[in-house]
Each structure stands twice: as structure tokens, then as C-alpha cells.
Amino acid sequence: MNAMWTLAGGSLVLALASALSGLAATERRPALLRQLSLPLFTLAGLAALVGGLWVLGTRATGTLQLPLGLPWLPWRLHLDALSGFFLALIGLLSIAVGIYGRGYVREFENGRDSLPALGFFSGLFLFSMLLVVLAGGALVFMVAWELMTLSSYFLVAFQHEQAANRRGAFLYLLMGQMGGVFILLAFGVLASFAGSFSFAAMRSIHLPGVWASIAFVLAFIGFGMKAGLVPVHTWLPEAHPAAPSHISALMSGVMLKVAVYGFLRVIFDLLGPSHWQWGVVVLVIGSISALLGVLLALMQNDLKRLLAYSSTENLGIIFIGLGLSMIFIGTGHAVLGVLALLAALYHTLNHTLFKGLLFMGAGAILHSTHERDLDQMGGLLRRMPWTGWFFLIGSISISGLPPLNGFVSEWLTFQAALQAWHLENGLLRALIPLAAVALALTGALAAACFVKVYGIAFLGRARSRHVRRAHQVPMSMRIGQGLLAALCVAAGLLPASIITLLGGVPWQLLGTGLSPADAQSWLWLTPISKTAASYSAPLVLMALLLLFAATVIFLRRGAVRRVRRSDPWDGGFAPPTPRMQYTAAAFAQPLRRVFAPLLQVEEHVTKSPDGSPRYRLQVTDRTIDLLYTPWVRAMDRITRYIARLQGGHLRAYLGWTLGALVLLLWMVLL
């Protein structure tokens, strides 16, 4: 019990220490960031990981009252399996980011960017994320939540000389604050019925139907905004690419997961997921986010932007699982709800691992070539082999291909969806297969998307001179990536063990769990029953390796062993140049044509001054035009009226003040 709080508290203190020591990394001692702040960051992550695993393993719970705040409004921390899981998740990625960052920030040391700001806000960002999942009441939660939004805003705006970064940061701050307001209102509904801000009091009351639904809608909008679900995802592709890459990894890998945590805490824990209608809403939004996210990712040429859109896709998959879980629980199938919830949690873990890895890979490319545009890259696998092979593992994982981890969570989500035959409601029986269709389509498109990324960036020949001069990244960056790549493989091979570990979360939230199918439970993943579906990742990998060995041995005999190098086939014309290769835009062209009605595709061919034709392609998100522009226009019009108040005349201002005063007095006295 005490060890648990020592670890959790230790991670908070270490994160703060990392922030403060980062502050000291001024121009005179720039190396301090690398030598003190980031190691402290890693240690904070380690403490959080061990503490989280401890809680998950022992299934202990506990509350800690801080000697802080007003007597009637105490600051309380709370630890249970749910917060333990997310604590471990944050810790895991922070370890890798702390190690990786040591190499990555080196290039900032000679730049104009402010290192103390980077160090301070990185540490504060980690601190606030840890505090969100440790919060035991709405007050601490909201304070930490806002701290998280603000500290990450400064990280997004880190390289603020570029206008695009400033714009992305502002959009992020705006939407982050709006989401915060929705969450605050949701807590307001809960707190006004519970009469207290503590989660324990909120959990014990039962909200009347209408107010429960209002709280659900408010919380879903608020957390959905942070999670980057369609249609409130627009900040995500602007903000994530703007931050330094190790921070992008942290934002995409865990900050979006903190939103998932908030959703689980409020909906599953405090409100109780008793209405299947809520599940339908979550399922539909999740499916749309997954599909639209992957389509938009496929159309991007900027690597980090592409990864950001892919986060929307993966959060959509997580919310498909959560929606399924809510539907099953709402209709009284608790065990199936557990299965869907585990699928969502597994994908949460997976997305943290592979998206962290991929953002680090993008950062390594950026570090080595200063290039984010896919159409300038090529042939990086031979110039940066470590990054290249790690990135391949991440790409296979995110495409949901066996035997790696992305496949396991997609498999579990499919299995949960296929259990919809238990339901009586005809609408649900038709809706859930449609979500499975969306998931299948998403998986296939994600594979296309990452073939494009990997094929264009790492294979083929370099498309520009600076990419041709790419070099190996420092050892610390390789270790950071390697750690996550190894975990991707491990999470793909030992799904049954990980599900046992995650089992504490559904036990806590729903009071039930899955029963292991047989004694060899680590070998077999049989979520429903042995006859319904089984998948044994270790055996699949073993079979693959055995067949591989057999094929190699078989081919060794008789055949000509030597492999001769020669030029590629040139079609009988001039030797091929790197510019003849397919580009990222060309690769996506067939799918762009098919899905054009869902996207906004603008293609122009213009004549440049020297007479040669120029091709310009722009694919934009339709949601901006459909949903945001009308609002912005309306806001503009309203503010223009309000602006009339500010005429610049002192007497007018005094008049307004007097009027307001009279009005208030009238209201009070009445």
C-alpha cells in the first residue's frame, strides 16, 4: 500500500524535478537539459510504470489526502486498477521518450529556440498527465487537465517562428479550452447531484435519466475533443506535427489516452454505462473517426501530419471497442462488455507503443535530414538501418498484421462485434456488423497507408540531395525506438498474459472478468470459448519461423547459391532516375479517385513562367467547410455587433457600467 503511493508520488516529484531542472538549462548550460532534466524524466516514467504495474498486479486501491486546499474542498489522490493501467502507460512511453529525447534535443542546443521552456514544459506536461490519472476528485482532475492543455500548448508553440506552428498552437489551445469547458460542465452536473467534488461521492449517487444523458453528452464531447474524434479532430493534424518529435510521440501516444482515461472514468466509473443508446452514439462516432481518419492519413504527404491523422483513426478504433462494450453492458451482457472493453484497452496500449515508435522514427528522419515531406525522401532504410527496421515493425503493427500487436486488438474487436448475435434488438444487430465493416475497411486502408509511408520514405532511391546525405541517428535515439519496437513484438506474442494483467480494470469497473479457457492460458487467446475462436500468437510465430527455416534449407540444395547484383530493368530506354519513382501523391491516386466524394480534392494544372506545366494537388478535410466555417462566420458577425460597444468614448463606457450596475441592483433587490 505504501510502496504504491511512494512510487506514484515519486513519479510526480521526479516529473516536477525534471521540469525545474529543465528551467536551469539556459544558454550558458544548455547540456543540463540532456544530462539532468531528461534522465529525471525517464526516472519519473520508470516510477510511474512500476507503480502502475504494481496496482494492476495486486489490484490494490487507495486514496491519499493531500495537506492542501480549502477545508471543505480537499485535494485527494486516488489509485485503482483503471488509473494504474494509464499510469503504467504514461510511464512506459515516458521512459522511451526520455531516452530518445537525449539525442533529439541536442540539435536545439545551438539553435535559437528556448531550451528552458522545452525542459520546463516537458516536465510539467508529464506531471500534469500523471496528476490527471491520479486525481481523486473533480477539482484535482480539472486543475491537472488544464495544466496539461496549457503545458502542451507551449510545447506545440515551441518553434513559434513559423506561422503554421503558431496557428496550430492557437487552434489547439482554443479547442482544448472548449473541451475543458464541456468536461467542467459534465462534472458540474455530477457534483450538483452528489453535493461533493470527490469521485467517491459521485460514484455513489444515481443520476435521473435525463441528467445522466446530459452528463454523458457533455463528457463525450469534452473528452472526444481531446481524443481527436471526428468531427472535433481538426486541431490534431495542426498541433501534433508542430511540436518537437519526442513531444509529438508523447502527445499522440499518451495525451490522447488520458482523454480515453477521462471517458472511462466519467462514463464507466462515475455514471455507470447502463444505457445502450449511449453506446450506439460512441460506436457510430468511433466508426466514422476510424474511416475518415485513415482516409485523410492516406492523402497526406507530410509524414508527421499523416501520423497525426492516423491517431484519429486509432482513437476511432478504441472508441468502437468502448461503444461495443457500452452496448453489451446496457443490454445485460456483462461478459461480452468485458471482452469489448479489453479490446479497447489492448488497442490503447498498442497505439501508445506503435504511435510512439512511429513518431520517434519520423523524428529520427527529421533529425537526420530536416525533412518532413515524403516526396523528398527515399532509400532511408540503407542510410538509417536501425530506424528503418524499427519503423517497419511499427508499420506492420499499426497496419494490424499478424503476428504483431496491432493485429491482436483488431482481432479482439472483431470477436466482440461478432458476438452481436446475442442481442435481441434488430437495430443493434444490424448496426454492429456495420461497425465491423468499418473496422475491416479501416484495417485494409491503414495497410495501404503504411505501405505508402514505408515504401516512399525508406525504400527506393533518395529523391533529394539532403536525404541522400542522411546519416545514422545517435545511440540514445536508437535505444528509445528499439525499446518500443521490442514491446510491440512482445505485446503481439503474449496477448493472453497481457489480457490477464489488464483484467483488473474490468473487474473494478464492471465487477466481472473473463475466465481463462484452459491451463495453457498464456499460449491461447480464446476470449469466448475454445470452439468459437482461438488464436495462438506464439504458435503462429513458431510455425512461421519453422516454415522459414524449411524454405531456406530446401532452397539451399541444388540451386545456384550466388546472388548477382545488376542494374534494374530500364524498359529498354534511358536508365531510370529517382524522379521517375512513384511519389506519395501518385501512390494514393487510385484510392483518392475512389473516395473523392468523401474528401475535398482540388487538382490544378497551371503553366509556370518558363512554360512548363505545374501540377498542384490539395486534399482537405470536408468537416472544416461543413461544420466550422459557418460557425466562424456567425461568430464574426456577432462579434462585430458587440464591437460597437467599444466606441472609444469614455462616457459611453461609464454609461454601460452604470446601466449594468442599475440592472444588477434591480435584480438583487427584487
Partner 1 sequence: MNTAGIAFSVLQGLAYVLLAPLLLGWVGKVKATLQNRRGAGVLQPARNVYKLLGKETRVAHTASPLFRITPYVVFVATLLAAAIVPLLATNLPSAAVADIIVVAGLLGLARFFLALAGMDVGTAFGGMGASREMMVSSFAEPALLMAVFTLAWSAHSTNLAGIIDHQLSDARLLPSMLFALASLVLVAVAETGRIPVDNPSTHLELTMIHEAMILEYSGRHLALLEWAAQIRLMLYGALIANIFFPWGIATRPSLLALAMGMAAIVGKLLILGAGLALSETVAAKMRFFKTPIFLSLAFLLALIGLLSHVILESGG
Q: How far is the CB of 278 from partner 1 (least distance, A)?
A: 22
Which residues are paired to 619 by β-bridges? 601
How many other CB atoms sit within 10 Å of the CB of residue 595? 19
Q: Pick between residue 205 and residue 594 the one whose CB is nearest to partner 1.
A: 594
Least Cβ distance, residue 326 to partner 1 (angstroms): 20
Total residues binding partner 1 (CB under 8 A): 84
Interacting residues with partner 1 between 452 and 481 (CB under 8 A): 452, 454-456, 458-461
- The residue range among 154-162, 336-344, 493-501, 581-589 that interacts with partner 1, by the rule CB under 8 A, is 581-589
Distance CA 666, CA 670 (A): 6
Binding string to partner 1 for residues 363 to 402, with x set by CB under 8 A, is what? ---------------xx-xx---------x---x--xxxx
* Whole-number Å distance between alpha carbons of 603 and 601: 6
Report the site for partner 1 in 528-547 (rule: CB under 8 A).
531-536, 539-540, 543-544, 547
Three-state DSSP state, 301? coil
Q: Which helix H or strand E contains 446, and what residues bound it?
A: helix 426-457
Least Cβ distance, residue 260 to partner 1 (angstroms): 24
Q: Which of 566, 606, 608, 639 binds partner 1 (CB under 8 A)?
A: 566
d(CA 93, CA 352): 7
Single residue of 67, 71, 208, 558 touching partner 1 by CB under 8 A: 558
Contact residue for partner 1 among 184, 185, 448, 479 (CB under 8 A): 448
| Smaller CB separation from partner 1, 28 or 562 | 562
Does residue 516 bind partner 1 (CB under 8 A)?
A: no
Contact status: 357 vs partner 1 (CB under 8 A) = no
Restricted to residues 598-657, the positions that interact with partner 1 (CB under 8 A) are: none
Task: Indicate whether 588 belongs to the interface with partner 1 (CB under 8 A).
Answer: yes
The rounded distance, in Å, linking the Cα atoms of 12 and 87 is 11
Span from 112-120, 250-258, 449-457, 499-507 in contact with partner 1 (CB under 8 A): 449-457
Grid look-up 548477382 returns 564
Should residue 501 be labelled a site residue for partner 1 when binding is judged by CB under 8 A? no
553 scored as a contact of partner 1 (CB under 8 A):
no
Nearer Cβ to partner 1 (593/640): 593
* Residues 34 and 92 sit within 8 Å (Cβ to Cβ): no
- Does 668 contact partner 1 by CB under 8 A? no
The candidate with the shortest Cα–Cα distance to 613, out of 623, 603, 621, is: 603
Asked if 218 contacts 183 with a C-beta cutoff of 8 angstroms, the reply is yes
The distance of closest approach from Cβ of residue 483 to partner 1 in the complex, given in angstroms and rounded to an integer, is 22
Q: Which residue(s) pair with 75 in the sheet?
A: 66
Q: Which stretch binds partner 1 (CB under 8 A): 88-96, 135-143, 331-339, 576-584?
A: 576-584
Which of 590, 655 has the CB closer to partner 1? 590
73-81, 124-132, 416-424, 499-507 -> range binding partner 1 (CB under 8 A):
416-424
Nearer to partner 1, 256 or 588 (CB): 588
Asked if 424 is part of the footprint of partner 1 (rule: CB under 8 A), the reply reads yes
Closest by CA to 396, choosing from 433, 361, 426, is 361
Residue 328 makes contact with partner 1 by CB under 8 A: no
Calculated CA dihedral for residues 346, 509, 284, 133, nearest 10 degrees: -70
Count CB neighbours of 57 within 10 A: 13
Any contact of residue 594 with partner 1 (CB under 8 A)? yes
Task: Report the residue number, 183 or 445, with the smaller CB distance to partner 1.
Answer: 445
Peptide bond between residue 71 and the one before it cis (omega within 30 degrees of 0): no
Q: How far is the CB of 267 from partner 1 (least distance, A)?
A: 27
CA 605 to chain centre: 37
Per CB under 8 A, which of residues 90..149 are in contact with partner 1? none
Element (H or E) spanning 64, and its range? Answer: strand 62-70
Q: Collapsing DSSP states into helix, strand and coil, what is residue 617?
A: strand
Q: Compute the least distance from the CB of residue 286 to partner 1, in Å.
A: 17
Q: Does 180 bind partner 1 (CB under 8 A)?
A: no
In the complex with partner 1, the residue whose CB is nearer, 3 or 547, is: 547
Looking at 161, 518, 567, 636, which residue binds partner 1 (CB under 8 A)? 567
Q: How far apart are CA 57 and CA 555, in angstroms?
A: 48
Cβ-proximal residues to 189 (8 Å cutoff; 6+ apart), any chain: 207, 211, 214, 215, 218
Nearest to 247 by CA among 104, 144, 134: 104
Other beta carbons within 10 Å of 164: 11
Name the segment binding partner 1 (CB under 8 A); options: 77-85, 361-369, 590-598, 662-670: 590-598
Q: How far is the CB of 517 from partner 1 (least distance, A)?
A: 12
Q: Residue 203: how many CA atoms within 13 Å on its side-chain side?
A: 12
b/e per residue 358-386 (b: at least 16 CB within 10 A): bbbbbbbbbbbbebbebbbbbbbbebbeb
Single out the residue of 5, 193, 414, 628 in contact with partner 1 (rule: CB under 8 A): 414
**Three-class secondary structure assignment of 381-439:** HHHCHHHHHHHHHHHHHHCCCCCCHHHHHHHHHHHHHHHHHHCCCHHHHHHHHHHHHHH
Stretch of residues binding partner 1 (CB under 8 A), selected from 133-141, 217-225, 503-511, 564-572: 564-572
DSSP state at residue 169: H
Residue 292 Cβ, how far from partner 1 at the closest point, in Å? 15
At position 554, the amino acid (one-letter code) is F
Q: Select 31 or 594, whichever has its Cβ closest to partner 1.
A: 594
CB of 587 to partner 1, least distance (A): 5
Choose one: 179-187, 410-418, 598-606, 607-615; the region binding partner 1 (CB under 8 A): 410-418
Which listed range, 21-29, 258-266, 578-586, 614-622, lies at the site for partner 1 (CB under 8 A)? 578-586
In the 8-state DSSP scheme, what is residue 138? H
